[in-house]
Amino acid sequence: MNIVIIEDELQAASRLEKLLMDLVKDCEVVAKIDSVKKSVRWFESNPAPDLVMMDIQLADGISFEIFERCKVKAPVIFTTAYDEYALKAFKVNSIDYILKPVDRDELKSALQKFDSMKRHGSHTPEMLQSIAHSVQMLMKKYKSRFVVKVGEHLKTVDVDKVRFFYSQDKATFCVTDENRSYILDYTLEQLEEMLDPEQFFRINRKYFVRAGAIQDIIHYSNSRLRLVLKGSADNDIIVARERVQEFRQWLDK
Protein backbone atom coordinates (compact mmCIF):
# COMPACT_ATOMS: atom_id res chain seq x y z
CA MET A 1 0.00 0.00 0.00
CA ASN A 2 1.38 3.40 -1.03
CA ILE A 3 0.67 6.05 1.60
CA VAL A 4 1.25 9.81 1.70
CA ILE A 5 1.68 11.56 5.06
CA ILE A 6 0.80 15.24 5.20
CA GLU A 7 2.03 16.54 8.55
CA ASP A 8 4.06 19.64 9.44
CA GLU A 9 5.49 18.30 12.71
CA LEU A 10 8.59 16.23 11.88
CA GLN A 11 8.40 14.11 15.01
CA ALA A 12 4.70 13.38 14.53
CA ALA A 13 5.27 12.44 10.87
CA SER A 14 8.10 10.07 11.78
CA ARG A 15 6.06 8.43 14.53
CA LEU A 16 3.09 7.98 12.20
CA GLU A 17 5.34 6.42 9.56
CA LYS A 18 6.69 3.89 12.08
CA LEU A 19 3.16 2.97 13.19
CA LEU A 20 2.04 2.49 9.60
CA MET A 21 5.05 0.30 8.79
CA ASP A 22 4.18 -1.81 11.81
CA LEU A 23 0.46 -2.12 11.08
CA VAL A 24 0.24 -2.32 7.28
CA LYS A 25 1.71 -5.18 5.30
CA ASP A 26 3.87 -4.10 2.34
CA CYS A 27 3.42 -0.45 3.30
CA GLU A 28 5.48 2.24 1.62
CA VAL A 29 5.31 5.90 2.61
CA VAL A 30 5.91 7.48 -0.78
CA ALA A 31 5.95 11.07 0.49
CA LYS A 32 5.98 13.09 3.69
CA ILE A 33 4.76 16.63 3.05
CA ASP A 34 4.57 19.53 5.49
CA SER A 35 2.49 22.24 3.79
CA VAL A 36 -0.59 22.97 1.71
CA LYS A 37 1.50 24.39 -1.14
CA LYS A 38 3.79 21.35 -1.36
CA SER A 39 0.82 18.98 -1.11
CA VAL A 40 -0.93 20.61 -4.06
CA ARG A 41 2.26 20.42 -6.10
CA TRP A 42 2.73 16.73 -5.21
CA PHE A 43 -0.84 15.70 -6.08
CA GLU A 44 -0.65 17.53 -9.40
CA SER A 45 2.52 15.73 -10.48
CA ASN A 46 2.22 12.22 -8.99
CA PRO A 47 -0.16 9.27 -9.34
CA ALA A 48 -2.73 8.90 -6.59
CA PRO A 49 -1.60 6.86 -3.57
CA ASP A 50 -3.74 4.21 -1.94
CA LEU A 51 -4.29 6.32 1.17
CA VAL A 52 -3.50 9.77 2.55
CA MET A 53 -2.89 10.50 6.24
CA MET A 54 -3.59 14.22 6.58
CA ASP A 55 -3.23 16.64 9.48
CA ILE A 56 -5.85 19.41 9.42
CA GLN A 57 -3.68 22.28 10.64
CA LEU A 58 -0.54 22.77 8.54
CA ALA A 59 2.21 25.37 8.66
CA ASP A 60 0.78 27.47 5.83
CA GLY A 61 -2.94 26.96 6.36
CA ILE A 62 -5.77 24.46 6.74
CA SER A 63 -5.37 21.21 4.82
CA PHE A 64 -8.90 21.53 3.43
CA GLU A 65 -7.44 24.14 1.06
CA ILE A 66 -5.70 21.27 -0.74
CA PHE A 67 -9.08 19.96 -1.93
CA GLU A 68 -9.97 23.41 -3.27
CA ARG A 69 -6.76 23.75 -5.28
CA CYS A 70 -6.40 20.28 -6.78
CA LYS A 71 -8.04 16.87 -7.15
CA VAL A 72 -7.15 14.38 -4.44
CA LYS A 73 -7.93 11.01 -5.98
CA ALA A 74 -7.42 8.99 -2.83
CA PRO A 75 -9.29 8.32 0.43
CA VAL A 76 -8.13 10.31 3.44
CA ILE A 77 -7.77 9.63 7.15
CA PHE A 78 -7.44 12.89 9.05
CA THR A 79 -5.35 13.45 12.15
CA THR A 80 -6.69 16.36 14.12
CA ALA A 81 -6.81 18.27 17.37
CA TYR A 82 -10.20 19.83 16.50
CA ASP A 83 -12.93 20.02 19.12
CA GLU A 84 -15.83 17.60 19.49
CA TYR A 85 -18.26 19.69 17.45
CA ALA A 86 -16.01 19.72 14.40
CA LEU A 87 -15.50 15.98 14.63
CA LYS A 88 -19.24 15.35 14.24
CA ALA A 89 -18.93 16.14 10.55
CA PHE A 90 -16.56 13.21 10.10
CA LYS A 91 -18.78 10.85 12.09
CA VAL A 92 -21.87 11.74 10.10
CA ASN A 93 -20.13 11.23 6.76
CA SER A 94 -18.22 8.07 7.72
CA ILE A 95 -14.84 9.77 7.37
CA ASP A 96 -12.24 8.58 9.84
CA TYR A 97 -10.29 10.88 12.08
CA ILE A 98 -7.65 10.31 14.76
CA LEU A 99 -6.97 12.67 17.62
CA LYS A 100 -3.35 13.71 18.05
CA PRO A 101 -1.07 12.41 19.38
CA VAL A 102 -1.88 9.39 17.23
CA ASP A 103 -2.63 6.27 19.24
CA ARG A 104 -1.61 2.91 17.77
CA ASP A 105 -4.95 1.22 18.45
CA GLU A 106 -6.92 4.13 16.99
CA LEU A 107 -4.78 4.07 13.87
CA LYS A 108 -5.26 0.32 13.59
CA SER A 109 -9.03 0.75 13.86
CA ALA A 110 -9.06 3.46 11.19
CA LEU A 111 -6.99 1.30 8.82
CA GLN A 112 -9.33 -1.64 9.38
CA LYS A 113 -12.30 0.58 8.55
CA PHE A 114 -10.56 1.76 5.39
CA ASP A 115 -9.85 -1.86 4.39
CA SER A 116 -13.49 -2.78 5.04
CA MET A 117 -14.71 0.09 2.86
CA LYS A 118 -12.55 -1.15 0.01
CA ARG A 119 -13.70 -4.77 0.38
CA HIS A 120 -17.36 -3.74 0.44
CA GLY A 121 -17.08 -1.77 -2.75
CA SER A 122 -16.82 1.79 -1.43
CA HIS A 123 -15.28 3.64 -4.34
CA THR A 124 -12.93 6.57 -4.13
CA PRO A 125 -15.34 9.10 -5.77
CA GLU A 126 -17.97 8.31 -3.12
CA MET A 127 -15.45 8.71 -0.31
CA LEU A 128 -14.22 11.97 -1.80
CA GLN A 129 -17.77 13.27 -2.02
CA SER A 130 -18.18 12.57 1.69
CA ILE A 131 -14.90 14.34 2.39
CA ALA A 132 -16.03 17.37 0.39
CA HIS A 133 -19.28 17.52 2.35
CA SER A 134 -17.38 17.24 5.63
CA VAL A 135 -15.06 20.03 4.57
CA GLN A 136 -18.01 22.31 3.80
CA MET A 137 -19.54 21.60 7.20
CA LEU A 138 -16.31 22.29 9.05
CA MET A 139 -15.47 25.47 7.17
CA LYS A 140 -18.94 27.00 7.42
CA LYS A 141 -19.26 29.83 9.92
CA TYR A 142 -22.57 30.11 11.75
CA LYS A 143 -23.96 33.26 13.29
CA SER A 144 -22.87 33.77 16.91
CA ARG A 145 -24.67 37.06 17.72
CA PHE A 146 -27.12 39.60 16.33
CA VAL A 147 -27.15 43.36 16.62
CA VAL A 148 -30.64 44.62 17.52
CA LYS A 149 -32.09 48.07 18.06
CA VAL A 150 -33.58 48.91 21.47
CA GLY A 151 -35.06 52.39 21.36
CA GLU A 152 -32.20 54.68 20.37
CA HIS A 153 -29.59 52.12 21.38
CA LEU A 154 -27.94 49.10 19.79
CA LYS A 155 -27.58 45.83 21.68
CA THR A 156 -25.96 42.49 20.90
CA VAL A 157 -27.85 39.24 21.45
CA ASP A 158 -25.84 36.01 21.61
CA VAL A 159 -27.35 33.21 19.55
CA ASP A 160 -26.77 30.71 22.37
CA LYS A 161 -29.09 32.83 24.53
CA VAL A 162 -31.96 32.64 22.02
CA ARG A 163 -34.80 30.21 22.69
CA PHE A 164 -36.52 30.51 19.34
CA PHE A 165 -37.07 32.71 16.28
CA TYR A 166 -40.46 33.42 14.73
CA SER A 167 -42.05 35.56 12.03
CA GLN A 168 -45.13 37.73 12.47
CA ASP A 169 -46.64 40.45 10.26
CA LYS A 170 -43.67 40.22 7.84
CA ALA A 171 -41.17 40.81 10.67
CA THR A 172 -38.75 38.38 12.33
CA PHE A 173 -38.26 38.17 16.09
CA CYS A 174 -36.00 36.31 18.50
CA VAL A 175 -36.94 35.43 22.08
CA THR A 176 -34.14 35.08 24.61
CA ASP A 177 -33.69 33.12 27.83
CA GLU A 178 -34.67 36.32 29.67
CA ASN A 179 -38.05 36.30 27.87
CA ARG A 180 -37.07 39.40 25.94
CA SER A 181 -38.22 39.73 22.35
CA TYR A 182 -36.20 41.58 19.70
CA ILE A 183 -36.87 42.32 16.07
CA LEU A 184 -34.21 41.21 13.58
CA ASP A 185 -33.22 42.50 10.16
CA TYR A 186 -33.36 39.02 8.61
CA THR A 187 -36.04 36.74 7.19
CA LEU A 188 -36.41 33.16 8.40
CA GLU A 189 -35.08 32.04 5.01
CA GLN A 190 -31.90 34.04 5.64
CA LEU A 191 -31.65 32.67 9.17
CA GLU A 192 -31.77 29.16 7.76
CA GLU A 193 -28.33 29.78 6.24
CA MET A 194 -26.98 31.51 9.36
CA LEU A 195 -28.05 29.19 12.18
CA ASP A 196 -26.27 26.02 13.23
CA PRO A 197 -28.62 23.12 12.32
CA GLU A 198 -27.29 21.22 15.32
CA GLN A 199 -28.77 23.91 17.56
CA PHE A 200 -31.91 25.12 15.78
CA PHE A 201 -34.62 23.38 13.78
CA ARG A 202 -37.18 25.00 11.50
CA ILE A 203 -40.42 23.28 12.43
CA ASN A 204 -42.64 25.22 9.99
CA ARG A 205 -42.81 28.45 7.99
CA LYS A 206 -43.03 30.58 11.16
CA TYR A 207 -40.68 29.06 13.75
CA PHE A 208 -37.05 28.10 14.36
CA VAL A 209 -36.65 26.43 17.76
CA ARG A 210 -33.85 25.33 20.05
CA ALA A 211 -34.33 21.95 21.75
CA GLY A 212 -33.85 23.47 25.20
CA ALA A 213 -36.75 25.86 24.59
CA ILE A 214 -39.27 23.04 24.17
CA GLN A 215 -41.37 22.65 27.29
CA ASP A 216 -43.77 20.03 25.98
CA ILE A 217 -44.50 18.00 22.82
CA ILE A 218 -48.07 16.91 22.19
CA HIS A 219 -49.45 14.60 19.51
CA TYR A 220 -51.72 16.58 17.20
CA SER A 221 -54.11 15.81 14.35
CA ASN A 222 -52.91 14.47 10.98
CA SER A 223 -49.71 12.96 12.46
CA ARG A 224 -48.41 16.38 13.45
CA LEU A 225 -46.91 17.57 16.73
CA ARG A 226 -47.77 20.64 18.81
CA LEU A 227 -45.02 22.32 20.82
CA VAL A 228 -45.18 24.35 24.00
CA LEU A 229 -42.23 26.73 24.05
CA LYS A 230 -40.79 28.51 27.07
CA GLY A 231 -41.63 32.18 26.88
CA SER A 232 -44.36 31.79 24.27
CA ALA A 233 -48.12 32.18 24.70
CA ASP A 234 -48.79 30.84 21.20
CA ASN A 235 -50.92 27.68 21.51
CA ASP A 236 -50.66 26.86 17.82
CA ILE A 237 -46.97 26.04 17.33
CA ILE A 238 -47.20 23.00 15.06
CA VAL A 239 -44.44 20.86 13.58
CA ALA A 240 -45.37 20.50 9.91
CA ARG A 241 -46.31 16.93 9.06
CA GLU A 242 -43.57 16.58 6.45
CA ARG A 243 -41.02 17.68 9.06
CA VAL A 244 -42.08 15.45 11.96
CA GLN A 245 -39.76 12.52 11.23
CA GLU A 246 -36.74 14.76 10.66
CA PHE A 247 -37.65 16.72 13.80
CA ARG A 248 -37.73 13.55 15.91
CA GLN A 249 -34.33 12.50 14.54
CA TRP A 250 -32.95 15.98 15.32
CA LEU A 251 -34.14 15.68 18.93
CA ASP A 252 -32.77 12.14 19.29
CA LYS A 253 -29.07 13.05 19.34
Q: How confident is residue 121, by pLDDT bands cut at 50, 70 and 90?
A: low
What's the mean pLDDT in 180-191?
94
> Which pLDDT does position 93 carry in this prediction?
38
Give the separation between CA 180 and CA 143, rounded to whole angstroms.
Answer: 19
pTM strictly above 0.75: no
Is the predicted pLDDT of residue 95 greater than 60, yes or no? no
Give the separation between CA 136 and CA 241, rounded to whole angstroms.
Answer: 29
Give the amino acid at 200: F
Q: How confident is residue 67, by pLDDT bands cut at 50, 70 and 90?
A: confident
> Which pLDDT does position 97 carry in this prediction?
60
Give the amino acid at 128: L
Highest mean predicted confidence (pLDDT) among 51-55, 91-95, 99-103, 240-244: 240-244
The residue with greater pLDDT, 198 or 119, is 198
The b/e string for 164-184 (b: 16+ C-beta within 10 A; e otherwise) is bbbbeeeebebbeeeeeebeb
What's the mean pLDDT in 82-97?
50
pLDDT in tens, 235-251: 999 999 999 999 999 99
> Which pLDDT does position 238 carry in this prediction?
96
Q: In percent, how much of the chain has pLDDT > 90?
A: 53
Q: How confident is residue 79, by pLDDT bands cut at 50, 70 and 90?
A: confident
Q: Which CATH superfamily, name and number, covers 2-139?
A: Response regulator (3.40.50.2300)
> Which pLDDT does position 73 carry in this prediction?
80
> Which pLDDT does position 25 carry in this prediction?
84
Is the predicted pLDDT of residue 84 greater than 60, yes or no? no
Residues forming CATH 3.40.50.2300 domain(s) in the chain: 2-139
pLDDT in tens, 125-158: 555 555 555 555 555 668 889 999 999 999 999 9
> Which pLDDT does position 105 carry in this prediction?
83
| 145-251 carries CATH number 2.40.50.40 | yes
Residues forming CATH 2.40.50.40 domain(s) in the chain: 145-251
> Which pLDDT does position 85 carry in this prediction?
42
Bond into 49 cis (ω within 30) = no
Separation of CA 144 from chain center: 16
